Homo-oligomer: A and B are copies of this chain.
C-alpha cells in the first residue's frame, strides 16, 4: 500500500472519496461482504463490470489496503481478494447507502439481514 498524501484537502470526506469515490469500488466491496473473493465471481454481478476495470480496481483497492490479494491454490496459482480490517470498516457506509436507497427508490432490493447486521 502506498500512502498518497496529495489529497485534494485534509477533509475526511474528500480523502475518503479519493479512495472509493468511483463507480465500482463500493460495488466490489459489497460483493466481498457477500462472500465473493474471485475475479470470475466479481464478473458475474448484475452491474457487469468489465475485465479491465475489474483488474485495475482490484489493484487499486489492494494498494490502498482495503483488500488483500491472497494465494488460495498453488497448482495452478490462483489468487483471491479478501477484505482487510480497513475495508471491513467501510461496512457502515454501505449499510447507510442501502437504507437511503431503499427509502428513496422503492424498487431497489432489500439487502439480506446478514449483510445489514454484519459487525
A108 x B27 contact (CB < 8 A):
no
Residues of A within 8 A of B (CB): 5, 7-18, 21-23, 26-27, 30, 45-48, 86, 89-90, 92-94, 96-105, 107-109, 111
Q: Which residue of the partner chain B has the closest CB to A22?
A: B21
Contact A17 B26 (CB under 8 A): yes
Most chain B CB within 10 A, of A13, A16, A26, A96, is at: A13
Copies of the protein in its oligomer = 2
Q: Is the CB of B16 within 8 A of A100?
A: yes
CB contacts (< 8 Å) of A92 on chain B: these are: 96, 99-100
Contact present for A109 and B46 (CB under 8 Å): no
Could you say which residues of chain B place their CB within 8 Å of the CB of A7? Answer: 105, 108
A51: min CB distance to chain B, Å = 17
Q: What is the distance, in angstroms, from A89's C-beta to the closest C-beta of chain B? A: 5
B47 contacts A12, C-beta separation under 8 Å: no
Name the 4 nearest CB pairs between A and B, nearest first: A12-B101, A12-B108, A9-B46, A8-B47
